[in-house]
Each structure stands twice: as structure tokens, then as C-alpha cells.
Amino acid sequence: MGEEGGDGLSVTPAAEFPAPTPDEVRALRRVGERWGAARAAGRAAPLPVDPTLGRYRLRPAPSRFGRLTPIELFRVGEPDELVATERANLPGSRLGRGLARLRRTVFGPPLTSAAVLYERMRKLVALPVLSSDLLSSVAYGPEAMLTVLLLAGGGALALSLPLAAALVLLMVAVGVSYRQTIPAYPHGAGSYIVAGDNLGSLAGLAAAAGLMIDYVLTVAVSVSAGVRAVTSALPGLAGFTVPLGVLVIAALLAGNLRGVRTAGNLFVLPTYAFVVALLAVLGAGFHDAAGRGFAALPPPDVPAVEGLGLLLVLRAFSSGAVSMTGIEAVSNAVPAFRPPEWRNARTTLGWMVAMLVLLFAGITVLVHLDGLAPRPGQTLLSQLARASFPTGPWYALVQAATALILLLAANTAFNDFPRLLYFMARAGHAPRRFLHMGDRLAFSNGLVALCLPAAAVFVIFRGHTEALVPLYAVGVFLAFTLSQAGMVVHWRRERGRRWRRRLAVNAFGATVSGLVLATAAVAKFTEGAWVVVVAVPLLVLVFQRVQRHYRTLHRALALRPPPPAGAAPPEGEELPQQVRNLVVVPVARLNRASLRALAYAASLGQPTLAVHIAPEEGEADRFREQWEAWGDHLRLETIVSPYRAVVGPLAHYLEALHASRADLVLTVIVPEVVPRRRWHRPLHSRAEHRLRGALQALPGVVVTSVPVHLGE
């Protein structure tokens, strides 16, 4: 199904309108050939109005929307086309227009589809936008690793150096592995697509589920760590952790709903500031260390709580591995780069991994040299900054930059989560509404779908970073593993230039990722990883169910050649001559609304039946008298409903009619009084609403609402 999505794998608004397959076009032709008979009525008869709105004189008569200043809602495009202007998007109601204006003020004016190309990112903008997640991870990754090691006492901290070396190896391996993936999948090398393409749909869905959980947690963890950095600097705010975090998530949502480019600009400065600040800390720290001949200061003497076993080391390792979360951001976002997309993306990824390795290794080594250890009151990075800059404003600057980048790291997820949903929706694994680009060419639905669970997780965990970290690694490394395993299969199939070497690189990446995945899932199972272990299969199940529904829908709606005989299955009529109409008008009482409905029904020139539901015999007799007074122009059927229900008996009557002639299309014409003010609605019985609900389930019943507007 994904193949029909227009032009390959790029992101376009036209994905909501997939083109028909050649088979379908042939079926369309066959159906059309048999329309002949009805053509006269529809095509040949002149329309009573000019559908082009006068085409070159495009000032529609004054309307609700501007009685005094006629606004040009449409302009002429190509000779045969009308083009809606921005104004034509405004809703009709006053409340709706007010909301639309408010939204425009917050999110900016709408962008046309033609602007989609210009919303690409330069490398220097893409780097901060996509790397904030990855680089900010060093603000909590090393600390998470050391916190686990410290459980085995201060002496165990020395293990951080070999563990860090292993993690650097892992980073390089995964980074190189992803660098190979980008040119192979230039339209977006997300784990979902790579794994799905090469390992089958199930693997792709598992990768997608892992990534989705990862993105939600990225937002929650980054925001909680960022808020914590702020509250540790300003302890007075500590009581407001939860509302502060929710506010930050809302602000991020608003920023991203404005669109990609604007969001990028917002995030350039803090990321670069963080990198510069951290490099300064490292420089000053190593300068001091050089002053004492790189002699390591002794770590604090903390007593051991647990023995130094293999499980503890593995837990420390997988905790440290959260420093790598976000490395996949670039490969998902390839189409957001300026052309040549894949080359720019690959270069950006290279820079990012290099910077990550530099910062991560630098921090771990310097912590070791300075003899620091995690403390409850203060983050490790803050201790490091204090040690390097004991005086002056520099400490405050480092903390501010850290807080900012942590808050903004969440933004990576805002880029990738909706894009992932877009690809999934195009393949039918996610609701189609995630294909829709909002006013500002952002995937508004996907952004909202990210923020709601992220805010929920944040509130449930009361913003505690340490409680969220154990959930974190499993989803990411599941996606890493599947993606790289997929690339192994890819190289084996393609067998292009140097495929053996490439295969080996990806196989190595897949193996080490898989080891980290297994480590994280087992070692942290009871600490929270079980949530993810349970959630991934559940999500996969939902994705499959969604796809099954869309497949059914697609099969039901796909065009196929018409059957040779004239009769059609119920609801299968595709030719006007197959449609046998019976118009049914439920009439509660005779007033102008129902007379108008009757007149409308008769104007269609089809066989027409009026139905009256009476609560009592006497009322039925009275109604028939009125009907006679009116002239008995249409056939009337009275149904006495002694239990005073209206909707139920009417629905059952229509069903019985349909049962007696299954080929009939019953058109039920319901007069509907539309009050002008919203608060007037409860004053009406809204029986037509309930009737529509009841009739919706009936096959072969068409419901027509004839509105009467109150001009009050």
C-alpha cells in the first residue's frame, strides 16, 4: 500500500491523495463506459449557476463573511481552476474565526504547499536542531553510569575508564553503521523503514514501537533534567517542578507547530553555547590536571552497598549507554536537509558523533582525574564546572547552557516523532490523519500525539529523571539493533561495491547494539524496563490491527470492473441506472420546516413516502385529519408508538422496508432546525441527531438533512 503514495519516500502534502493503480484506472474506465444512460440528466443538462463563480469577475456577492468588505476568497489559477486564498480557510462561525485568528497569532500565518521545499535545513542549522538530544545526553549519561558504580563503593569508580572506552567504541561503531545507512536510504533512513524493508514488517513495527517510546521518554527525561538543573540553581522553584515541566512541553509544542525553520532558529544558539561551555570546562580542567602532572585525585570514600558483580557492571554500562540516545535523529531526518540531502546528512552525523565522543570521553576522564563522584544535591556536571571555574560568572554560564540544551533536547523528538508517524501512516500502520500537514506545513497531529503521552509520563513520574532513565535504553537499542541488522540483509541482497566490508561494519554495529539491548532489558527489568518490554509488543499489535482495518477499507473501496448483470449488490451501485430510490420523510407535525422537507422530497421526482410516529391512537387520527386538510399529496404511513419512542420504531420500520426490497436506496429526509446561538441547542430535541445515529448503522439508508435556519 505504501507504494501508491505518489512520489516515493519524500514528505509531501499530496500523500493524503494516493493515486489509483493501473488496474483501478482500467476498472474506472469500464465503469464509466456503462454510465451512458444517465449522462443526459447530469452532464448535458445546463447547470443553473456558473460553477466558476464568473471566473474573471471574482467578487462573490456579499455574504456572512463580509457584508461590507467583499473579500476575494478565490482567485483564478490555471484557466480551469479556482485557487482558494488564505481567507477561504477561515471557519464560518464567529467563535471559530476568533480561534483561527488566535492560532495564527501564536503559530504564524499558514504556509502554502508550495513552500514545503523552502522549509529545508542548512547543515549549520540542522546540527544544533538534530544534535541537541544526543549531545545533551552527556549531561546525565556519565552520571547515570557512575551512580550505579558507586553502589559498589568509591573504589569501583575506577572502572569508569574501561567502561567509557567500551562505550566510545560502541558510539563509533553505531555512528559508522548509521553513516553507511544514510546514502542507502536517501529518503529517510529511519529504523522503521530500514528494518521493515529488510527484515519484514514485524521488525519494522517493533523498531517503530521502540523509537516511539524512546521519543516520548526523550521529551520527559530531557525536560525533567533541564527543570532539575534550573531548580538546583534556583531552589525556590523546586516546588513547581511539575507545572514548570508541563509549561516547557507546551512551549516546545507551540514552537514546533510554527514550523521547522523557525524552530531551528530558536535552537541554534543554546546548542553551540553548550558545546563551547563544555569545551571550556574540559580545557580548564585538563589544564589544571596538567599542572599536577595528570595525577588522579582520590575518589571520595563511599562504603559499598552492593558487591561488585557482573550484573552491576552491566547495569552501569547500559546506564552509560543512554548517552547515545538521539544518534538516530539524523538518519530519520534526511529529507529535511537541503539537497543533496544524503550527503549533508552524513556529514552532519559525522560531526555529531565526533563531538559526542569528545565530550563523553573528556567528561569521564576529567571526573576520574578530579576524583569526583555523583552526589545527591548537585549534578556531576555542576561539580565539574565548579572545579574548573571556582570563581567568576563562568559556573553560572555553564549551568545555564546545560539547562537550556536539556530543555531543547526534547526538540529532537518533535522533529522525528511526527515524521515517523507520517511514514507509518503512509504504509497504513498508523491513522491517516498523521499524513496531514497543518497550516504551517508541520505534522500538527503527530506533534500533539507526542506531547500528550510525554506530559503524562512527566506528571506521573513527578519529573524525577532517575526514575525515568531505566525505561530509556531498551527502546532505543531495540531500534538500533533492528536497523543495523536490516542493513546487513540489505548489503547481502544488493551486493554493491565493497559490500562485504559494509556488511561487516553493520553486523558489528548490530551485534554490539543487541548486546546493550539484552543487557538493558535484563539488568534493569525490575527497575522499570519491564514497562517497555510489555509496551513494545502491545504497540506492534495495535499497529497491525490498524493496518488490517485499512486493508479492509482499501479492499472495500478499491475500484473493480462492474459485474456484467444490471443488478448491483446493496451499497455497491456504481451506475445511476442501478439506483432504485424511495424517499422517506418522517413528519412529526406539519409546520413550515416539515412542509419544506416534503416539498424538497417531491422536487426530486422520486417515489416518496411520508411516515408519522404517533404516541397515541388519538394523536394519529388528528394528524391524518391535518394531512387530509393539506391535500394528501403524498402517501402517508402512520405508526403508533405506544411507548412514546420515536427513533427506535422509525429505524426498525426503515429496516423492515429495506429487508423487503434489498435493492432499494432509502433516502430519509429529515428537517433540521438550526438555532443561531449555541446555548439554544438544548432547547431542541435534536431528534434528527439521534435519528441519524440510529440510521447510520442501517445498510442502504441515505440520510438527508434539510436545515431551517432561525434568523433570530
Question: Scanning residues 272 to 291, which ones bind its own copies (CB under 8 A)?
Answer: none
Which positions ≥6 away from 565 have C-beta within 8 Å?
Answer: none
Query: According to the binding rule CB under 8 A, does residue 617 interact with its own copies?
Result: yes
Query: According to the binding rule CB under 8 A, does residue 593 interact with its own copies?
Result: yes
Q: Give ∠ CA 318-159-510 in degrees, rounded to 5.
A: 35
Which one, of 61, 64, 85, 91, lies nearest residue 73 by Cα?
A: 85
Residue choice 21, 113, 265, 378 for contact with its own copies (CB under 8 A):
113
- Choose the binding region for its own copies from 58-66, 299-307, 328-336, 414-422 (rule: CB under 8 A): 58-66
Query: According to the binding rule CB under 8 A, does residue 166 interact with its own copies?
Result: no
Q: Which residues pair with 103 in a beta bridge?
A: none
- What is the per-residue DSSP string for 602-639? HHTTS-EEEEEEESSHHHHHHHHHHHHHHT--SEEEEE
Query: According to the binding rule CB under 8 A, does residue 626 interact with its own copies?
Result: yes
Q: What is the largest CA-CA distance in the chain?
A: 112
Instruction: Report how many residues bind its own copies under the rule CB under 8 A.
Output: 176
Residue choice 47, 234, 310, 565 for contact with its own copies (CB under 8 A):
47
Residue choice 1, 3, 35, 102 for contact with its own copies (CB under 8 A):
35
- In the complex, minimum distance from the CB of residue 422 to its own copies, in angstroms, rounded to a whole number: 14
> Cα separation of 667 and 629, whole Å?
26
Q: Give ∠ CA 105-108-112 in degrees, rounded to 5.
A: 140
- Return the C-alpha torsion angle 390, 393, 398, 402, nearest 10: 130
Query: According to the binding rule CB under 8 A, does residue 240 interact with its own copies?
Result: no
Query: According to the binding rule CB under 8 A, does residue 258 interact with its own copies?
Result: no
- In the complex, minimum distance from the CB of residue 77 to its own copies, in angstroms, rounded to a whole number: 5
The contact mask relative to its own copies for 118-157 (x = CB under 8 A, - = no) is ----------------------------------------
Q: Which is nearer to its own copies, 12 or 511 (CB)?
A: 12
Q: Which three cell numbers stand for residue 99?
A: 480561534
- Choose the binding region for its own copies from 219-227, 232-240, 371-379, 666-674 (rule: CB under 8 A): 666-674
Do the Cβ atoms of 457 and 220 come closer than 8 Å? yes
Q: Which is nearer to its own copies, 110 or 371 (CB)?
A: 110
Question: At 251, which amino acid appears?
Answer: A
Residue choice 16, 119, 288, 466 for contact with its own copies (CB under 8 A):
16
Query: According to the binding rule CB under 8 A, does residue 202 interact with its own copies?
Result: no
3-state SS assignment for residue 388: helix
Query: According to the binding rule CB under 8 A, does residue 260 interact with its own copies?
Result: no
Question: Scanning residues 690 to 709, which ones bind its own copies (CB under 8 A)?
Answer: 692, 694, 696-699, 701-709
Query: According to the binding rule CB under 8 A, does residue 292 interact with its own copies?
Result: no
Q: Which residues pair with 667 in a beta bridge?
A: 583, 702
3-state SS assignment for residue 121: strand
Q: Which is nearer to its own copies, 115 or 460 (CB)?
A: 115
Q: Which residues pair with 580 in a beta bridge?
A: 664
Residue choice 287, 292, 462, 589 for contact with its own copies (CB under 8 A):
589
Question: At 694, which amino acid appears?
Answer: A
Residue choice 8, 66, 77, 300 for contact with its own copies (CB under 8 A):
77
Q: Which is nearer to its own copies, 301 or 712 (CB)?
A: 712
Q: Which is nearer to its own copies, 544 or 641 (CB)?
A: 641
- In the complex, minimum distance from the CB of residue 95 to its own copies, in angstroms, rounded to a whole number: 11
φ/ψ (deg, to 5) at 198: -105, -30
- Choose the binding region for its own copies from 224-232, 282-290, 403-411, 689-697 (rule: CB under 8 A): 689-697
Which positions ≥6 away from 672 have C-beta within 8 Å?
Answer: 688, 705, 706, 707, 708
- Choose the binding region for its own copies from 125-133, 395-403, 405-413, 617-625 (rule: CB under 8 A): 617-625
Query: According to the binding rule CB under 8 A, does residue 643 interact with its own copies?
Result: yes
3-state SS assignment for residue 214: helix
Question: Scanning residues 535 to 574, which ones bind its own copies (CB under 8 A)?
Answer: 546, 549-550, 552-553, 556-560, 571-574
- Choose the binding region for its own copies from 88-96, 328-336, 347-355, 514-522 (rule: CB under 8 A): 88-96
> Cα separation of 205 and 540, whole Å?
6
Q: Which is nearer to its own copies, 71 or 279 (CB)?
A: 71
What are the helix (H) ranges across 152-259?
160-184, 191-199, 201-233, 241-257
Do the Cβ atoms of 197 and 206 come closer than 8 Å? no
Query: According to the binding rule CB under 8 A, does residue 531 interact with its own copies?
Result: no
Question: At 271, which amino acid appears?
Answer: T
Residue choice 2, 60, 350, 561 for contact with its own copies (CB under 8 A):
60
Query: According to the binding rule CB under 8 A, does residue 56 interact with its own copies?
Result: no
Query: According to the binding rule CB under 8 A, does residue 340 interact with its own copies?
Result: no
Q: Which three cell numbers stand for residue 412?
A: 529532537
Question: At 462, which amino acid appears?
Answer: R
- In the complex, minimum distance from the CB of residue 320 to its own copies, in angstroms, rounded to a whole number: 40
Do the Cβ atoms of 477 and 321 come closer than 8 Å? yes
Question: Scanning residues 92 to 111, which ones bind its own copies (CB under 8 A)?
Answer: 92-93, 110-111
Which positions ≥6 away from 531 have C-beta within 8 Å?
Answer: 471
Query: According to the binding rule CB under 8 A, does residue 577 interact with its own copies?
Result: yes
Q: Which is nearer to its own copies, 234 or 697 (CB)?
A: 697
Question: Scanning residues 383 to 442, which ones bind its own copies (CB under 8 A)?
Answer: 431-433, 436-439
Residue choice 63, 99, 492, 496 for contact with its own copies (CB under 8 A):
63
- Choose the binding region for its own copies from 57-65, 325-333, 339-347, 490-498 (rule: CB under 8 A): 57-65
Burial of residue 381, with CB atoms counted within 10 A of its CB: 0-12 exposed, 13-18 middle, 19 or more buried: buried
Pairing of strands 635-640, 580-586: unpaired
In a 13 Å sphere around the CA of 299, the CA atoms on its Cβ side amount to: 22
> Cα separation of 504 and 481, whole Å?
14
DSSP tag of 337 = B
> Cα separation of 365 and 164, whole Å?
9
- Choose the binding region for its own copies from 15-23, 126-134, 244-252, 276-284 (rule: CB under 8 A): 15-23
> Cα separation of 135 and 271, whole Å?
8
- In the complex, minimum distance from the CB of residue 212 to its own copies, in angstroms, rounded to a whole number: 17
- In the complex, minimum distance from the CB of residue 636 to its own copies, in angstroms, rounded to a whole number: 9
Residue choice 578, 586, 587, 691 for contact with its own copies (CB under 8 A):
578
In a 13 Å sphere around the CA of 592, the CA atoms on its Cβ side amount to: 5
Q: Which is nearer to its own copies, 164 or 650 (CB)?
A: 650
- In the complex, minimum distance from the CB of residue 6 to its own copies, in angstroms, rounded to a whole number: 8
Q: How far is CA 325 from CA 162, 444, 659, in A?
A: 20, 24, 60
Query: According to the binding rule CB under 8 A, does residue 602 interact with its own copies?
Result: yes
> Cα separation of 193 and 206, whole Å?
11
- In the complex, minimum distance from the CB of residue 447 to its own copies, in angstroms, rounded to a whole number: 16
Query: According to the binding rule CB under 8 A, does residue 222 interact with its own copies?
Result: no
What are the helix (H) ranges across 439-529?
444-460, 465-468, 472-494, 499-523
- Choose the binding region for its own copies from 51-59, 165-173, 302-310, 385-393 (rule: CB under 8 A): 51-59
